[in-house]
Amino acid sequence: MTAEHREADPAVDTAIQALEQQLSMLWRRARSNSYKVARRVHPDMEPAAYGLLVILQREGGMRLTDIAASIGVGKPSVSRQIAMLEQLGLVQKEADPLDGRAQSITLTPAGSKQLVTAQTARKEAFHNLMEDWDVKDLTTLGTLIAQLNETYTKDNW
């Protein structure tokens, strides 16, 4: 049943409104924290580029088109971010070993080192922030956020 044909349930509407408000606040705070984390990697790095570095750390060398596809962003936007990261000495482009016409993008040794330093600081900040939380609650929150992220992959907009 689609949202247009569903009868409004006041309890669900109230819960959705509270969730929307809390997520909005969480996203604003997350953007602020992303700015701080990005600056730990490099003072001139844009916050959005942090995620690209993490993908390259996890996946190793990737083509620009594969990076763009993995995050659901257009190639021109990713290309601009990669060019900035290359100028900062955090990533490098090399000939793709499987296709000499394409380029593989990887972290530089300095980029890898700076990323790990920022990740260590971020992890420590999370530990400090959540030190009073019960492990069961942390696990439940992680599970629910994963469920929410999975829901976002559905085309419901």
pLDDT in tens, 100-111: 778 899 999 999
Q: How confident is the model at residue 2 (pLDDT cuts 50, 70, 90)?
A: low
Q: How confident is the model at residue 157 (pLDDT cuts 50, 70, 90)?
A: low
Using one digit for the tens of pLDDT, what is the confidence trace for 41-68? Answer: 888 888 888 889 999 999 988 999 999 9
The answer to whether 104 and 94 are in contact (CB under 8 A) is: yes
**Confidence at residue 101, expressed as pLDDT on a 0 to 100 scale:** 78
3-state DSSP: the chain helix, strand, coil percent, rounded to 5?
65, 10, 25
Mean pLDDT for 83-89 is 94
Q: Which two tokens stand for residue 135?
A: 């492990």
Q: How confident is the model at residue 1 (pLDDT cuts 50, 70, 90)?
A: very low
The answer to whether 96 and 63 are in contact (CB under 8 A) is: yes
Q: Which domains does the chain have, with CATH numbers?
A: 10-152 (1.10.10.10)
Mean pLDDT of the chain, nearest integer: 88
Q: Which residue has the higher pLDDT, 13 or 154?
A: 13
